[in-house]
């Protein structure tokens, strides 16, 4: 097999986050599901933004956050996603390239603006996301560069990509190329409501194309429509080579064949949970590409996730490489 | 005298900050003066941004930060400044209005983009600012609404306004209207290099039009071209009714007629000093408009400044009203 040029290539929605504090009453008033990712259109985005407090902007997007985290750990990443050539598109492009990530997907020149996610952080540090997909709806199979997929040890896909209609084709094309090239395919289920929208497709993907699966408790239970975490765990271990199931403050469970590891969360002051799962995936994938055992990869994942939740916004604000090293990993 | 509608109206450059970490070597490589504000053109901004690490965007602008801080303290503020109708202009407008600040200056529809300040934060938490003034250069005397100035207890001006050529006329017009209406005029000297550029004008303003002056140690020594803080202090106390001189970690000195108060800094973990002086001014002006004594206003200022430096970015990330109350003020 040819030498890999990238540790991980990610395909995902290219989004700028707009992050503000809010109380629970504001969520109730808006009628949005706390903790979930809700899709909104341009008009709804403008209306919600007008009601939101002063905010902070920074690059986001679940999969893009993971690739940014991988780069911060010292891994070589590539990203495929769609922005418009506008100010927020420039921000997204700058930030991911500044980390050394290869990002060459052509921007759109007209049509909807660069995607943004209006994130409300409640006093319990929980984040509630409202996403205007904008330019992401233009991502299609032509944006998937077979050379990059073939040259990446792992192709990482976010479940959210199933929402914009054409992106799903990009998703399937990439997974197929990766499989045929003898590379690994990783998937995050993204959000339990996203699983609700695309359950049959996700089940099919997980059983046929996915080598490494990330899900939180709600997502994996939704995927298999079971009432307990353990039931979901018993099903998924028959389906995937490697599964990492995250449980917020209760840590995570990693299953690979006969191996099962229960990993503690790394204690930290929790400011904003945005990006916790994304950086967990970054740490885990980085560990796998470095050939460490599953337990060590899980511990790296926990350290990276703890960094994400210690500040506003999903991207690391310190070198994850140095942080992981300081934990003796 | 007519009842005031606003506690403070600010006139300043309307800027979005782009904040990233950098080491001292990067500043040396760029050839920029550490701790200073350097003006850059569009081409230099693009070049610097391309070299910068991944960043966070949030509304900034020295005077605008002060008005935002005043609003967070519970004061009623208004702001006059110029953005373009673009994505960053929308961000600036949203953030200041979300705090309840009246901001009605018409946006430009063409010409240069909304101003941005590329801020490099070194490991010692010092910030070095590189400002592309963009749309701010269109601010002129027509943007100064005499009704708002006349209805504000204090008109607050930033020295940086002396940089864009037309803004200075707006500045003088506003100060004159405020004086004639029997209101107070406050000025911050902004930056010692800014004082170097406009020393004669600033001296003239301070002696003839300014009631309340804010300056840090370097700025006030530059204004009077003296070698010691105490010499500058002795000169300025003859010139202004009230002067607040900030000295970073060494606290501040407040002079009003025969009164001199030496106020301690409020201890905090220092992450990024961006906005320290801006929120100091917010706390002090808020105190004055509430009729508290100079010492209490100085303590409010120190609490607000400590909040600013405890996180990235210049705007408060918590309610300053609650914070000041928690200090028994």
Residue B166 has pLDDT above 90, yes or no: no
A269/B contact by beta carbon, under 8 A: no
B96/A contact by beta carbon, under 8 A: yes
Residue B165 has pLDDT above 90, yes or no: no
**Structure tokens given for B70:** 């005043």
| pTM of this structure | 0.95
Model confidence pLDDT, tens digit, residues B134-160: 999 999 999 999 999 999 999 999 999
CB A8 within 8 A of CB A154: yes
* Torsion sign (Cα): A26, A28, A33, A35: positive
Do A54 and B95 make contact, defined as CB atoms within 8 angstroms?
yes
Model confidence pLDDT, tens digit, residues B228-282: 999 999 999 999 999 999 999 999 999 998 999 999 999 999 999 999 999 999 9
Instruction: Spell out which residues of chain B touch residue A88, defining contact as CB-CB under 8 Å.
Output: 87
Domain definitions of chain A by residue range: 6-12+62-111+136-326
Query: Which among A50, A53, A91 is the nearest to B57, CB-wise?
Result: A91
**Structure tokens given for B291:** 């009729």
Q: How does strand B252-256 pair with strand B212-216?
A: unpaired
Instruction: Spell out which residues of chain A touch residue B312, defining contact as CB-CB under 8 Å.
Output: 317
B113/A contact by beta carbon, under 8 A: yes
Do A58 and B59 make contact, defined as CB atoms within 8 angstroms?
no
Query: How many Å lie between the alpha carbon of B213 and the closest alpha carbon of chain A?
Result: 28
B118/A contact by beta carbon, under 8 A: no
B47/A contact by beta carbon, under 8 A: no
Query: How many Å lie between the alpha carbon of A313 and the closest alpha carbon of chain B?
Result: 9
Label residue B28 exposed, middle or buried (CB < 10 Å: 0-12, 13-18, 19+).
exposed
CA-CA distances (angstroms) from residue B123 to B26, B51, B128, B224?
12, 18, 12, 32
What local confidence, expressed as pLDDT, does residue B82 receive?
A: 98
What local confidence, expressed as pLDDT, does residue B1 receive?
A: 61
Residue of A nearest to B114 (CA): A87
Model confidence pLDDT, tens digit, residues A27-82: 999 999 999 999 999 999 999 999 999 999 999 999 999 999 999 999 999 999 99
Model confidence pLDDT, tens digit, residues B21-59: 999 999 999 999 999 999 999 999 999 999 999 999 999
Do B59 and A59 make contact, defined as CB atoms within 8 angstroms?
no
Closest CA to B142 of B104, B194, B195: B104
CA-CA distances (angstroms) from residue A221 to A190, A245, A300, B281, B301?
13, 11, 25, 53, 52
The matching CATH number, chosen from 3.40.1190.20, 3.40.50.300, 2.40.50.100, 3.40.50.2000, for B6-13+62-108+134-324 is: 3.40.1190.20
Query: How many Å lie between the alpha carbon of A244 and the closest alpha carbon of chain B?
Result: 28
A313/B contact by beta carbon, under 8 A: yes
Instruction: Spell out which residues of chain B touch residue A96, defining contact as CB-CB under 8 Å.
Output: 54
- Quote the radius of gyration of chain B (alpha carbons, Å): 18
CB B305 within 8 A of CB B267: no
What local confidence, expressed as pLDDT, does residue A168 receive?
A: 87
Instruction: Spell out which residues of chain A touch residue B95, defining contact as CB-CB under 8 Å.
Output: 54-55
Do B54 and A99 make contact, defined as CB atoms within 8 angstroms?
yes
Interface of B with A in 65-94 (CB under 8 A): 68, 86-88, 91, 94
Do A94 and B59 make contact, defined as CB atoms within 8 angstroms?
no
Closest CA to B177 of B131, B145, B204, B211: B145
Report ipTM for this prediction. 0.92
Query: How many Å lie between the alpha carbon of B50 and the closest alpha carbon of chain A?
Result: 7
Angle between helices B294-309 and B276-289 (to 10 degrees): 150
**Structure tokens given for B10:** 């600010």
**How many residues does the structure list for chain B?**
329
CATH class for the region spanning A6-12+62-111+136-326: alpha beta
Do A98 and B313 make contact, defined as CB atoms within 8 angstroms?
no
Instruction: Spell out which residues of chain A touch residue B56, defining contact as CB-CB under 8 Å.
Output: 56-58, 313
Average pLDDT over residues A232-258: 95
């Amino acid at each position: 097999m040819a030498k890999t040029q990238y540790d991980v290539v990610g395909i995902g929605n290219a989004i700028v986050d707009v992050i503000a504090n809010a109380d629970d009453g504001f969520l109730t008033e808006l009628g949005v599901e706390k903790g979930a990712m809700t899709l909104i259109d341009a008009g709804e985005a403008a209306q919600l933004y007008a009601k939101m407090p002063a905010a902070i902007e920074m690059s986001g997007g679940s999969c893009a956050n993971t690739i940014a985290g991988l780069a911060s750990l010292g891994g070589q990443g590539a990203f495929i996603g769609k922005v418009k050539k506008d100010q927020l598109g420039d921000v997204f492009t700058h930030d991911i390239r500044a980390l050394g990530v290869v990002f060459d997907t052509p921007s759109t020149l007209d049509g909807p603006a660069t995607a943004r996610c209006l994130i409300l952080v409640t006093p319990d540090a929980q984040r509630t996301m409202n996403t205007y997909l904008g330019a992401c709806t233009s991502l299609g199979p032509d944006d998937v560069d077979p050379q990059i997929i073939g040259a990446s040890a792992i192709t990482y896909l976010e479940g959210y990509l199933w929402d914009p209609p054409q992106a799903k084709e990009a998703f399937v094309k990439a997974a197929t190329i990766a499989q045929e090239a003898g590379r690994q395919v990783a998937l995050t289920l993204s959000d339990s409501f996203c699983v609700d929208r695309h359950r049959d497709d996700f089940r099919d993907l997980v059983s046929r194309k996915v080598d490494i699966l990330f899900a939180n408790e709600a997502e994996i239970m939704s995927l298999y429509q079971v009432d307990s975490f353990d039931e979901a765990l018993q099903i998924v271990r028959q389906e995937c080579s490697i599964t990492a199931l995250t449980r917020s403050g209760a840590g995570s469970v990693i299953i690979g064949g006969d191996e099962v590891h229960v990993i503690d969360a790394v204690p930290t002051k929790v400011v904003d949970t945005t990006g916790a799962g994304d950086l967990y995936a970054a740490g885990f994938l980085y560990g796998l590409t470095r050939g460490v055992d599953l337990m060590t990869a899980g511990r790296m994942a926990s350290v990276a996730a703890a960094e994400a939740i210690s500040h506003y916004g999903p991207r690391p604000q310190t070198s994850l490489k140095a942080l992981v090293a300081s934990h003796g990993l």
